[in-house]
Structure 1
Amino acid sequence: MLKLENLSVYYGGIHALRGIDIEVEDGKIITLIGANGAGKSTMLNSIVGLIKSSSGKILWNGADITGRDTKDIVSMGLVLIPEGRRVFPNLTVEENLRLGAYARSDKMGIKKDRDRCYTLFPRLKERSHQHAGTLSGGEQQMLAVARGLMSSPKLLMLDEPSLGLAPLVSRMIFEIVREINKNGTTVLLIEQNAHAALEIADYAYVLETGVITMQDTGAALLNNEGIKKAYLGEG
């Protein structure tokens, strides 16, 4: 589905990604863990064309999309939910969801996806006419995910969805990510909460200062002594 081949990126004079090779298989949850500054967000921004790579390839279903415009990449079904939620605070929940479907013209499909979002996030339905800026942090994260789903993604990329959330809300977000995947959407998840991310991952990569240092199934990395010591606060 998605492949990064020897991808290198310079960002602000820093060699942020150094020859990255990653594969995201159709129907899977793939997780990337790593410390702050490891290059995780840079990788996602490179995939959707917000940051240009200096070398290497980004392949989507076999087609080279390296250097393509962001709007073209989104129209192919690659959708990024950025770190920090970035909802439109002066618009209602309903208006934010409609903006998520701005590139679509299938009215029945849009309505179906909106109803699905309200089923996944009942709290958003209760607040559908409320301005997004008045929502709690957890509710804004739910809205950010729901808005991403409104574009009918084939690959949903999430950048630190649990950042700044209470543990209970964070757990709910991960459960919803799992549910989204069960409904047929492939997920690429960037997370500092390594334990929660590895628990739901089919496969995972460890990124350290722009280099992939380890990769395995989520379950295997959860039980890896080095990972336990470096990322899980164990050992």
Structure 2
Amino acid sequence: MLKIENLCVAYGYVEALKGITLNVEEGKIVTLIGANGAGKSTTLKAIVGLAKAKSGSITYQGKNLLQEETKNMVRNGITLVPEGRRVFSNLSVLENLKIGAFYRKDTKKIEEDLEWIYELFPKLKERTWQQAGTLSGGEQQMLAVGRALMSRPKLLMMDEPSLGLAPLIVKEIFNIIKEIHKQGVTILLIEQNANAALKIADEAYVLETGTITIKGTGSELLKDDEIKKAYLGESHG
């Protein structure tokens, strides 16, 4: 579905990505883990055109996204849940959700999808008319995910969905990610919580200072001694 090959991105003289290659197959959960500054968010920004590639290719369903003159990720079926939640704080929960469906025309299906979102996130239904800026951090994250889902994406990209959330809310968010995946959505997950991310991932990549150093299945990386030591807070053995 999505192929990144030899992708290089630089900010001035600083190389953020140094020729990374990764593959996201349709129907899979793929996670990219790594420390702060490793280049994880830059990877997502390059996919959606917010960071300019120096070289390499990004191919989505046969189209080279770097060669498209007009990028419309949502119409192509790609949606990004950005880091930091970034809801429209002065608008209601419902208004935020409807913004996610801005380009869709079928009112009946939009209403059906609203009910689906409310089933996924019952807390949002309780707060339909509440201003998004007054929600808790966890509720804002749920709203950001719900808004992204209202575009009916084929590929959902998530940037640090657990950032700054309490452990119980993190668990809830990851359960929701699994449920979204069951609905047939392919997911590319950027996450510092390596343990939670690897547990749900079909495929996983480790990014260190702009270079992919390890790849494998989520379960393989969970058992890897170097991963345990560097990202899971465990010692060898």
TM over 0.5: yes
One-letter amino acid of the counterpart of residue 113, structure 2: D
Matches within 5 A, 1:1-235: 1-68=1-68, 71-235=71-235
Please state whether the residue corresponding to 2:207 is helix, strand or coil: strand
Task: Quote the Cα distance in structure 1 between the aligned partners of 2:91 and 2:211.
Answer: 40
Q: 1-side partners of 2:197 and 2:12: how far apart?
A: 28
2:89–2:133: 8 Å Cα contact kept in structure 1?
Answer: yes
Contact 1:50 1:70 (8 Å CA) reproduced? no
CA deviation map 1:171-202 (0-9, x unaligned): 00000001000100000000000000000000
Does the 8 A contact of 2:65 with 2:71 survive in 1? no
Which whole-Å CA distance do the structure 1 matches of 2:111 and 2:185 have between them?
Answer: 18
Displacement of 1:67? 4.7
Q: Normalising by the residue count of structure 2, what TM-score does the alignment of the two structures yield?
A: 0.97
Secondary structure at the counterpart of residue 86 of structure 1 = coil
Equivalent-residue separation in structure 2 for 1:71 and 1:178 (angstroms): 29
Look up the SS of the partner of 2:66 in the other structure. coil
More displaced, 97-106 or 5-14? 5-14
Equivalent residues of 1:117, 1:146 under 8 A apart: yes
User: By how many angstroms is 1:73 displaced?
Assistant: 2.1
Structure 1 residue 68: Cα displacement = 3.5
Contact 2:8 2:16 in 1 (8 A): yes
CA distance in 1, matches of 2:147, 2:210: 30
CA contact (8 A) 2:2 2:58 kept: yes
Are 1:99 and 1:147, in contact at CA under 8 Å, matched by a contact in 2? yes
* In structure 2, C-alpha distance between the alignment counterparts of 1:92 and 1:159, rounded to whole Å: 23
Deviations 1:98-148 (A, max 9, x none): 101111111122111111000000000000000000000000000000000
> For 2:53, what is the secondary structure of its paired residue?
coil
Structure 1's 60 and 108: CA in aligned 2 closer, same or farther, altered over 3 A? Answer: same
- What is the aligned-residue RMSD (CA, Å)? 1.0
What secondary structure sits across from 2:221 in the alignment?
helix
Q: 1:71 to 1:113 in 2, by over 3 A?
A: farther
Structure 2 residue ranges without an equivalent (≥5): none
Q: Do 1:158 and 1:190's aligned partners in 2 also have CA atoms closer than 8 Å?
A: yes
Q: 8 Å contact 1:81–1:148 — kept in the other structure?
A: yes
Q: Give me the TM-score of the superposition, normalised by structure 1.
A: 0.98
Between the two proteins, the alignment pairs up a number of residues equal to: 235
**Inter-CA distance 205–230: structure 2 relative to 1 (3 Å threshold):** same
Q: Which amino acid aligns with 1:16?
A: A
Identity of aligned residues (%): 63
Deviates most, 72-81 or 219-228 = 72-81
